[in-house]
Amino acid sequence: MKDVRTDGQRKRVFIRTYGCQMNVYDSDRMADVLRPLGYALSDTPEQADLVVLNTCHIRERASEKVYSELGRLRDLKSERRLGGGDLTIAVAGCVAQAEGEEIIQRQPAVDIVVGPQAYHRLPELLARVARQSDDRRADGRRRPGAGVLDTEFPAESKFDHLPAPSEADVRAGSAFLSIQEGCDKFCTFCVVPYTRGAEYSRPATAVLREARSLVAAGATELTLLGQNVNAYHGEAAPSSIGGSTWGLARLIREIAEIDGLVRLRYTTSHPRDMDDDLIAVHGDVPQLMPYLHLPVQSGSDRILEAMNRGHGRDHYRRLVDRLRGVRPDLALSSDFIVGFPGESDADFDDTMRLVDEIGFASAYTFKYSRRPGTPGAALGDQLAESVKTARLAALQSLLGNQQRDFNASKVGAVVPVLFAEAGRKPGQILGKSPWLQSVYVEGGADMIGSIVNVRLLAAYALSLAGEVVADESPTRFEVAA
């Protein structure tokens, strides 16, 4: 394959992102770290000098995908070398953290393995790779296991070493802002506490500074991110002057004051950390969109206990009642795992009943995936794949119907839509409603990045169609008195 670069000496990086929004944020930040080294973004690995795979380890299939992509990159690298060029391959993210050295052993074409807490050190790691490739040129061969590894949880926070965000971090008026990382909850199915480390909240002052920069760079919507975002407790004043910390509710109130910010979202929350203040904020802060992703995982108390979730089904139901009490039009979304070890038909029926009682606007559903090193992997009574498949299909059918009903309930309303990208058909653009529904309209690319009122005309399983009615006022939805 030919190197089709046409931009002379400029270096190019291709970053492929797997998994969650936190990885999307991290990929953007890696691009920010690499920009001062002269790297521009490339759309394909074929045009890149450096390829970064920012990986996800949450389920087995997610990590297997990474290894098949690495096989393709190895072939690309060999072709480059035959032509006298080279390709640097880096594996970042949670697979890098969990598997470390093993990645280089399994795929020796990999040059760098860098964990999610160490990517601010990429420039240093690239310099080490360059030194090694000079060595290789001298003796004609690469030393075995010569890949560079950094999977430490450094004492310094990567956030203190990242450049200020720029326009490149704002996509069509919207930006992610990571405020919290890691997890101390140790759900028995989950690798996050091992790959992302202990819970850490960024100082509130640093978060506010970044929020202001993103708004100044063109963001009208911010999504605050964290593996346990509502466990946020960021330092608001240095301990040397008496110190104080802010929870997520206080942070949301302060960010909402930023001039020019229209929409605010946060994800992912844990039911244990939905405190009174945070519930109140959903009724008080108009910039906070009426959408909440609140994973429940199962509707069976027995399984929730075995998962070490620290909440039961009634706790979850009460939370939802209280949230709907302050924000009746709140769209609820959730994560579900079917087929956790020992899940009986009766446990699964409990999940179906909970879904029926609550009514979700959208959801993510997963078959339990046995993750090495987690307590769940060592449990007996692992369920057959066929049982998981059947339960997943039943749950998805129920949730799919609920999503369709929720979408249908908005037909006829006029709602503000933030347009994000071109639609699949020519002349069509796609955006998000306040409830995070996908909305298609006929419209020009010049509307991308702006918030425009749209009358919703038809609802489908995963989206709505509408027409632009820029001069009409949005429909008022019921809000608490």
For binding to ligand SF4 (CB under 6 A), which residues are involved? Answer: 183, 185-187, 190, 192-193, 227-228, 270
Least spacing, CB of residue 472 vs ligand SAM, in Å: 38
For the segment 414-473, give every residue that binds ligand SAM (CB under 6 A).
Answer: none
- Assess 337 for contact with ligand SAM (CB under 6 A): yes
Q: How many residues bind ligand SAM (CB under 6 A)?
A: 18
Q: Residue 207: is it exposed, middle or buried by C-beta count within 10 angstroms (0-12/13-18/19+)?
A: buried
Least spacing, CB of residue 210 vs ligand SF4, in Å: 22
Return the number of the residue (11 or 185) whose C-beta is nearest ligand SF4: 185
Return the number of the residue (62 or 146) whose C-beta is nearest ligand SF4: 62
186 is in the binding site of which of ligand SAM, ligand SF4, none (Cβ under 5 to 8 A by kind)? ligand SF4
Contact 308, 188 (CB under 8 A): yes
Return the number of the residue (375 or 474) whose C-beta is nearest ligand SF4: 375
Least spacing, CB of residue 292 vs ligand SAM, in Å: 12
Least spacing, CB of residue 425 vs ligand SAM, in Å: 32
15 is in the binding site of which of ligand SAM, ligand SF4, none (Cβ under 5 to 8 A by kind)? none
Helical axes 385-408 vs 345-358, angle rounded to 10°: 10
- Assess 368 for contact with ligand SAM (CB under 6 A): yes
Token reading at 423: 């639609």
Return the number of the residue (228 or 287) whose C-beta is nearest ligand SAM: 228
193 is in the binding site of which of ligand SAM, ligand SF4, none (Cβ under 5 to 8 A by kind)? ligand SF4
- Assess 268 for contact with ligand SAM (CB under 6 A): yes
**Beta-carbon-side half-sphere exposure of residue 415 (alpha carbons within 13 Å):** 29
**What is the 3 state secondary structure string of 86-101?**
CCEEEEEHHHHHHHCH
Judge if the upstream peptide bond of residue 55 is cis by omega within 30 degrees of 0. no
320 is in the binding site of which of ligand SF4, ligand SAM, none (Cβ under 5 to 8 A by kind)? none
Least spacing, CB of residue 373 vs ligand SAM, in Å: 11
The one segment of 161-169, 200-208, 365-373, 387-395 that binds ligand SAM by CB under 6 A = 365-373
- The contact mask relative to ligand SAM for 1-40 (x = CB under 6 A, - = no) is -------------------x--------------------
Burial string for 51-89 (b: 16+ CB within 10 Å, else e) reads bbbbbbbbbeebbebbbebbeebbebbeebeeeeeebbb
Least spacing, CB of residue 311 vs ligand SF4, in Å: 11
Residue with tokens 């140790």: 186
Q: Binding ligand SAM by CB under 6 A: which of 58, 96, 129, 306?
A: 58
Q: Residue 142: is it exposed, middle or buried by C-beta count within 10 angstroms (0-12/13-18/19+)?
A: middle
Nearest to 419 by CA among 170, 174, 167: 174
Return the number of the residue (20 or 66) whose C-beta is nearest ligand SAM: 20
- Assess 180 for contact with ligand SAM (CB under 6 A): no
- Assess 189 for contact with ligand SAM (CB under 6 A): yes
CA distances 187 to 81, 308, 310, 321, 368, Å, are: 45, 5, 9, 25, 13
For the segment 224-243, give every residue that binds ligand SAM (CB under 6 A).
Answer: 227-228
- Assess 194 for contact with ligand SAM (CB under 6 A): no
- Assess 311 for contact with ligand SAM (CB under 6 A): no
The one segment of 144-152, 368-376, 402-410, 422-430 that binds ligand SAM by CB under 6 A = 368-376
Q: Binding ligand SAM by CB under 6 A: which of 50, 70, 190, 363?
A: 190
- Assess 192 for contact with ligand SAM (CB under 6 A): yes
- The contact mask relative to ligand SAM for 66-105 (x = CB under 6 A, - = no) is ----------------------------------------
- Assess 369 for contact with ligand SAM (CB under 6 A): yes
Least spacing, CB of residue 224 vs ligand SF4, in Å: 16
Q: Where on the chain is the footprint of ligand SAM (CB under 6 A)?
A: 20, 58-59, 189-190, 192, 227-228, 268, 270, 295, 297, 335, 337, 366, 368-369, 371
